[in-house]
Amino acid sequence: MASRFVVTDHALARFVEQYHELEGLEADAQRHVLLAELERGVAYGGQFGNDALYLLPCGAVAAVAWNRGCGFVKTVLTRDHAIANMQSMGAVLRSNPEFHVVIRADELHALAEEHFSAGLGRRRRNALLRELGYDPAGEAGELYRAAYRAVVEANCVAHREAYLRRLESAA
């Protein structure tokens, strides 16, 4: 079975530097170990464009550039190094997951109100969420959709109440 990843020599060298037990193996065997890690890796961080970060089962992070369905592994970093790089580029990482969900829910609710007021369609709203680093198909998308539905429902209730007041005052 062909791999969807192409490992550069630089990436392989960085991987072997982190895992000294691989130094005794031949380059093909080292490459095979890295490819197995990549196949089980998960997307990590909110990358834009064709680049992606993958958290590998061993704890390392691979930087991958995608082109025509093929992932070119540019380098392999330690998790701490990858986090430091993301922070240097302006990412705000929160360590407490409960705090993160509360803040994100508030941010997503504010976005939902803003998007509703602007009259944006679903596609445009999803595109804006992606631009801000949120995954519309993931947990953030669920929180956003719930907030958006709450805004829509509140708007309907307000219109209904205004209509009933007009009816009462006309009678």
Q: Is 128 found in the same domain as 70?
A: no
Specify whether 106 is located in the same domain as 84: no
- Whether 82 and 50 map to the same domain: the answer is yes
Q: Can you say whether the dihedral through the CA atoms of 117, 120, 122, 128 is positive or negative?
A: negative
- How far is Cα 31 from Cα 126, in angstroms, rounded to an integer? 37
Q: Based on the fold, state whether residues 122 and 49 are members of the same structural domain.
A: no
DSSP-derived letter for residue 89 is T
pLDDT values of the chain reduced to their tens digit, one per residue, 171 residues: 345 888 999 999 999 998 888 888 898 999 999 988 888 888 776 555 567 888 888 888 888 888 887 889 998 988 888 777 766 765 555 444 544 444 467 788 889 999 999 999 999 999 888 888 888 888 888 888 888 988 998 889 888 888 889 888 887
75 and 105 assigned to the same domain: no
CATH number of the domain where residue 52 is located: 3.30.2310
Name 67's bridge partners.
70
Instruction: Give the pLDDT of residue 102.
Output: 45
Which amino acid, one-letter code, is at 88?
A: S
Please give the pLDDT value at position 148: 92
Whether 106 and 53 map to the same domain: the answer is: no
Judge if 41 and 77 occupy the same domain. yes
Q: How many residues does the chain have?
A: 171
Residues 84 and 132 in one domain: no
**What is the reported pTM?**
0.50
Domain boundaries, position 107: 97-170
Mark whether 82 and 9 lie in a shared domain: yes
Alpha helices in the chain (DSSP H): 9-18, 27-40, 79-88, 97-118, 122-131, 139-170
Distance CA 36, CA 45 (A): 21
Q: Which of 88, 105, 125 is the last residue of a domain?
A: 88
Q: How far is CA 136 from CA 25, 37, 52, 61, 100, in A?
A: 42, 27, 17, 23, 17
| 121 and 70 together in one domain | no
Q: Mark whether 25 and 47 lie in a shared domain.
A: yes
**Contact in structure between 82 and 44 (CB atoms under 8 Å):** yes
- Say what the pLDDT of residue 118 is: 94
Contacts 24+ apart (CB under 8 A), 62-70: 62/11, 62/37, 62/38, 63/11, 64/5, 64/38, 69/4, 70/4, 70/5, 70/6
55 and 118 fall within a common domain: no
- Total number of domains in the chain: 2
With the C-alpha atoms ordered 88, 91, 93, 99, is the resulting torsion angle positive or negative? positive
Token pair of 27, please?
Answer: 């380059």
